[in-house]
Structures are given as C-alpha cells and as structure tokens.
C-alpha cells in the first residue's frame, strides 16, 4: 500500500457527486476511440500501452506488482514494461536501497502526464485534435486507415465547435 507516499491535498470545498446522466450529457466517451487512435499513432504507443498509462496515472505511485495487476486486462506483451521505461513513459520515483526500501516505486513521467492531460482536454472539448500534417501524422494519409481517421478527426473537431 503506497498511500503513505501520496501527497494528501484536501480542499475546503465539497464536490457534488456526478450522476450517470450528467456523465452521458458531457459526451465524454463519444469520440474516445478516435482520440485514443490519434494519441497512440502520434506518440508511437500501442493503444493498450496508452490505456495502461491512463490506469497507472490514476494510481499515481505504483510498484512493478501494481503494473502487473493492471496488465491482466490487456493482451499479453512481455516487452511492455521495458518499452514504457525506455520510451520515457514511466519514471522511477523512489529507488530501492536493498535494506529499508525493498522495491522501486514508479510514476508516469511528465511526458506521459502531458499526453494524458491533453487527451482529457480534447475529450472535454477544450481543445481540438490537430489537423496539420506537421502535428498529426495521420493527416498525411499514408494508408487507407489514415484517410478514414482523417475524416473522423475532422468530424470530431466539427462536433466540438
């Protein structure tokens, strides 16, 4: 249990509980698939890796065992951990010292947190998906799937406005 390492930021205000109908009215998940495909393709991530990063970001501080528990719902990929570490998506928050700290504690890197926050902003319609070929490799239309996704990206942006 890593709760003692987490910073406790308790505000003075109380938040109203979000109801299911309010969540539906936000249309939060309406374009999630296209946003996820955009994020994974433009950041050289697999879609399962991106979703796992979102899961780990919600945990904040995690161990390798927490990572392994999160992986159960995804397809088996024994290179995922090393790929996310080498890709600078996961960083060591506290290293083990073999005496008092028996294991490393990890966190999603700044790069990963920035991507996840951008996904949230796009889902909340605060930001549009990029439509320039310089900022979005899908717009180049190198494959049939890219051309289909380009049309979908324009539809997402049109729906947001």
Q: Which residue has the tokens 């889902």?
A: 123
pLDDT of 31: 93
Smallest CA-to-CA distance from 112 within 154, 67, 24, 51 is with 51
Residues near 100 by Cβ (< 8 Å), separated by ≥ 6?
Answer: none
SS3 assignment, position 113: helix
Per-residue model confidence as pLDDT tens for the chain (161 residues) = 444 444 445 556 677 788 889 888 888 889 999 999 999 999 999 999 999 999 999 999 999 999 988 888 888 888 999 999 999 999 999 888 877 778 899 999 999 999 999 999 999 999 999 999 899 999 998 999 999 999 999 999 999 87
What whole-number distance in Å separates Cα of residue 142 and Cα of residue 88? 27
Q: Point out which residues pair with 107 in neighbouring strands.
A: 61, 91
What whole-number distance in Å separates Cα of residue 61 and Cα of residue 91? 10
Output the six-digit token pair for 117: 């926050």
pLDDT of 111: 97
- Report yes or no on whether pTM surpasses 0.75: yes
pLDDT of 8: 47
pLDDT of 101: 77
CB 57, CB 108: distance < 8 Å = yes
pLDDT of 155: 93
């Amino acid at each position: 249990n890593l709760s003692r390492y987490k910073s406790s930021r308790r505000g003075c205000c109380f938040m109203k509980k979000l109801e299911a109908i309010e969540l539906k009215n936000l249309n939060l998940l309406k374009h999630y698939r296209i946003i996820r495909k955009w994020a994974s393709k433009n950041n050289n991530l697999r879609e399962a890796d991106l979703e796992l990063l979102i899961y780990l970001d919600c945990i904040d501080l995690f161990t390798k065992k927490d990572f392994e528990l999160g992986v159960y719902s995804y397809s088996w990929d024994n290179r995922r951990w090393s790929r996310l570490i080498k890709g600078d998506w996961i960083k060591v928050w506290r290293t083990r010292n073999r005496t008092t700290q028996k294991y490393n504690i990890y966190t999603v890197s700044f790069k990963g947190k920035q991507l996840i926050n951008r996904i949230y902003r796009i889902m909340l319609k605060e930001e549009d998906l990029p439509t320039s070929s310089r900022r979005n490799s899908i717009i180049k239309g190198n494959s049939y799937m890219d051309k289909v996704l380009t049309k979908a990206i324009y539809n997402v942006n049109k729906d947001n406005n």
